[in-house]
Amino acid sequence: MAFLYDPVNFIAGWAHGILTGWGLVDSLATVIIYLIGITVLIVFAMVLDVMLVWVERKVVARFQDRLGPNRIGPFGLIQPFADIIKMVIKEDITPAGADRIVYNIAPVLAASSVIILWAILPIASSIYGVDLNVGILYLVAAGSLGTLAIIMAGWSSNNKYALLGAFRMVANMISYEIPMVIILLVPTILADTMSIKGITQAQSGVWFAILSPLAFLIFLISAIAELGRSPFDLNEAESEIVSGFNIEYSGMKFGWFYAGELLHAFTFGGFIAILFFGGYGGFFGLERIGFFSWLNNPFVQAVVFITKAMFGYWVIMWIKYSMPRIRIDHMLAFNWKFLTPLALVVLVNTAILSKVLVNLPIWGYALGMFFSNILIGLITIEILRAYGRKQRIAEGNLVRQVAHN
Amino acid sequence: MSVEQIIFVLTSLLILGSAFMVVTTRKLVQAALWLVSALFGVTILYAMLQANFLAVVQVVVYIGAIAVLFIFAVMLTRKELRDQGSQTRSNWWIAASLGVLVLAGLVSLIIGQPAFNRTAEVIPAGVDTLRNLGTALVSPDAYVLPFEVASVLLLAALVGAVFIASRKGEEK
C-alpha cells in the first residue's frame, strides 16, 4: 500500500535496499539512486516531448481546418517517431566561419534550460524533484539561461539573419521578464512562500486565478513572450528573417531547439496550472471530505496535473495559431507602457489587500481580492478607451486639416 | 575525499580555468561566454553552501542580466570581434608581482583566522534561511538603511535613464 501513496520514495527505498544488499556504501547507493531518478525524470520529459510533437501538429491542424498527421498509425500517432528518424538521419551542417564550440553547445543549453525546470515541477504531492524554497526565482533563472542559449546560437552561426533573430529575442525576453517577475510576486504574496509546492498547497481552498485573474492574464502574456511564440515570434519571423536564430542548424541540432520549444510551452502550461489553478490539487477543499479522499492519491493527482498543464498548453497554442505577429515597436510599447505598469498596480493592490482582508473569512477574502482585480481591469479598459478616443480625435483633426488645406 | 570535496575541487578548477580564459582569449564574445562559465561555477559553490537564494540570484542577475548585457554591448559596438596585437604591456611584471603580493597577503590573513579550520554548520531543519534574510533586509535593527539607500540609488539611475532617453527624442 505504501507504493500507492508515495511511489517515488517507495521505489527509491526498495532500490536502496538492493544496492546496499550488493555491498555498496550507503552514500554511494544514494548518489546512484539520485542519478537514476534524474535520468528517469528527463526521460519522462523527453518521451512526453515526442508526444507533444503529435499534439501540436494535430491541434494546429484543427485550428487551421485541416486533419493533421493521420497516415502513420492510429490517428497518426506514430508520426512523431517518423519525424525524429528523419531529423536524426539528416546531414549535420556546421557553417564555415561558425564558432564551432559555441555553435554546438547552444542547442544543448536551449533544451537543458527547459529540462532543468522539471526539477521543481511537482507532478503530485509525493512526485517531485526538489522542493526549493526559491522555486519562483529558479523559474526566472532558467529563463535567463534560455536567453543565453539563443544569443549563443545567433552569434555563433555567423549569419546576419541568425544574429537579428537573436537580437530580437533578447529584446523580447529581457523586456517581458520584468512584468513576469513582478507578477510572480503575486502568488508569492498570496501563498506566503516562494516554494512551488507551497504555492500549490496554498490553493487547496481557492485558486489564485480566482483571487487574482489579472495576475493570471499578465503571467500568460509574459509567458508566451518568454516562449517566443506567436504573437511574440519576432525571433523566427519567417517572412522577414527566414528562421531567425536557428537558421543555420540542421538535423538533430535543430531538433533540440524544436523539442526545447515544445517542452517549454508545455512546462509553462504546467506552471500556469501550478501558480494559478492549484496544480495537482486545488479541489476547493473537496479532498478533505472522506468520500473524496481518493483525490489525495498521487496517481490521481498526476493525472489532474497533466490535464491542467495540457489545458494551459492548449491555450498557448490557441493564441499562437489565432494571432498575427506583433511589430517590434508595438511589442516594446505594449510591455513598457501597458503590461509593466499594470503588473505593478496589481502587485501593490495584492500586497495591501492581503494585509487588510487577512481577518475576514475565506469567502470574504476571496471576494474582496476578486472584485478589486475586476475593478482594476475596468479602470484599465476605461483608460485605454479614453486614450484610443484621444488618438482617433487627433487623427481626425489631422485629416480635416489636410483636407482643408 | 568525500563527494562534496570532489565537487568543490572540480568547480574551483572550472571557475579558475574559465577566469583564465576570460583574460587570455582573443575573441571578445568568447571571453564574455567564459565569464558566464566562471559565474556559473560560483553558483555551484553557493548551492553547495546551501545558500539557495544567493545561487539563484547569481544566475538571474549575473548571467541573465549582466552577462547578457555584456555580450549585447560587445556585439553591437565592435565591428571586429577579435583583438590584434600583444596582450601584455611592457610593465606587466609590476601587475603580476602586485597580484602575487595581494594573494599572499590574503592567504596569510585567512589562514590566521580561527574560522579557517571549521566545518560549515548544518542548518537545523525548520529554519527558513530565506525568511530570515528577507526579515533582516527590512528590519530597522539590521539592514533597512543600506537596502533603502541602494533602492534610491537604483531609482535615481532609472529616472536618469528615462530622462536621457526622452531628451534624445526632443532633439530629432
Q: DSSP states of A360-384 as a string?
A: S-HHHHHHHHHHHHHHHHHHHHHHH
Minimal-distance CA residue of chain B relative to A103: B30
- Which pLDDT does position A337 carry in this prediction? 86
What are A117-162's pLDDT values in tens digits?
Answer: 888 888 888 778 788 888 888 888 888 888 888 888 888 888 888 8
B116 secondary structure, DSSP code: G
How confident is residue B82, by pLDDT bands cut at 50, 70 and 90?
low
Q: Which of A184-188, A238-242, B140-144 is least confident?
A: A238-242
CA distance A16 to chain B (A): 18
- Segment A83-101 mean pLDDT: 83
pTM for this one? Answer: 0.85
- Which pLDDT does position B114 carry in this prediction? 79
Beta carbons of A134 and B64 less than 8 Å apart: no
How confident is residue B94, by pLDDT bands cut at 50, 70 and 90?
very high
Higher pLDDT, B121 or B80: B121
Beta carbons of A141 and B27 less than 8 Å apart: no
Given a contact cutoff of 8 angstroms between Cβ atoms, the answer to whether A63 and A318 are in contact is: yes
- Residue B46 amino acid letter: Y
Q: Which of A12-16, A340-344, B41-45, B56-60 is least confident?
A: A12-16
Beta carbons of A99 and B67 less than 8 Å apart: no
Mean pLDDT across chain B, nearest whole number?
Answer: 83
Residues of A in contact with B59 (CB under 8 A): 141, 144-145
Q: How far apart are CA A380 and CA A4, in angstroms?
A: 49
Beta carbons of B63 and A155 less than 8 Å apart: no
What are B23-46's pLDDT values in tens digits?
Answer: 888 777 788 888 888 998 999 988
Share of chain A above pLDDT 90, in %: 8
CA distance A70 to chain B (A): 42
How confident is residue B172, by pLDDT bands cut at 50, 70 and 90?
very low
**B28 backbone dihedrals φ, ψ, rounded to 5°:** -65, -40
Beta carbons of B60 and A170 less than 8 Å apart: no
Burial A29-47 (b: 16+ CB within 10 A, else e): bbeebeeeeeeebeeebee
Beta carbons of B64 and A27 less than 8 Å apart: no
- Which pLDDT does position B106 carry in this prediction? 92
Residues of B in contact with A177 (CB under 8 A): 64
- Segment B140-154 mean pLDDT: 90
Residue A80 has pLDDT above 60, yes or no: yes
Q: How far apart are CA A212 and CA A186, in angstroms?
A: 8
How confident is residue B170, by pLDDT bands cut at 50, 70 and 90?
low
- Which pLDDT does position A218 carry in this prediction? 92
CA distance B107 to chain A (A): 33
How confident is residue B169, by pLDDT bands cut at 50, 70 and 90?
low
Q: How far apart are CA A371 and CA A390, in angstroms?
A: 28
Among candidate residues A335, A329, A144, A154, the one with its CA nearest the CA of residue A241: A154
Residue A98 has pLDDT above 90, yes or no: no
Q: Residues, chain B, total?
A: 172
How confident is residue B105, by pLDDT bands cut at 50, 70 and 90?
very high
Beta carbons of B29 and A145 less than 8 Å apart: no
- Segment B139-144 mean pLDDT: 86
Beta carbons of B60 and A141 less than 8 Å apart: yes
Minimal-distance CA residue of chain A relative to B52: A134
How confident is residue A72, by pLDDT bands cut at 50, 70 and 90?
confident
Beta carbons of B128 and A102 less than 8 Å apart: no
- Which pLDDT does position B24 carry in this prediction? 84
Q: How far apart are CA A225 and CA A220, in angstroms?
A: 9
Given a contact cutoff of 8 angstroms between Cβ atoms, the answer to whether A177 and A140 are in contact is: yes
Interface of B with A (CB under 8 A): 3, 27, 29-30, 33, 36, 52-53, 56-57, 59-60, 63-65, 67-68, 71-72, 75, 128-130
Residues of B in contact with A137 (CB under 8 A): 53, 56-57, 60
Helix ranges (DSSP H) in A116-245: 135-156, 160-191, 196-202, 208-211, 213-227, 238-241
Residue B79 has pLDDT above 60, yes or no: no
- Which pLDDT does position A2 carry in this prediction? 67
- Which pLDDT does position B12 carry in this prediction? 92
A 26-65 near B (Cβ less than 8 A): 27, 31
Coil/strand/helix, residue A63: helix
- Which pLDDT does position B7 carry in this prediction? 87
Beta carbons of B130 and A155 less than 8 Å apart: no
Mean pLDDT across chain A, nearest whole number?
Answer: 85
Q: How far apart are CA A245 and CA A107, in angstroms?
A: 11
Residue A1 has pLDDT above 70, yes or no: no
- Residue A87 touches chain B, beta carbons under 8 Å: no
Q: What is B128-169 written as a DSSP string? A: -HHHHHHHHHH-TTTTHHHHHHHHHHHHHHHHHHHHHHHHHH
Beta carbons of A134 and B53 less than 8 Å apart: yes
Q: How far apart are CA A29 and CA A69, in angstroms?
A: 45
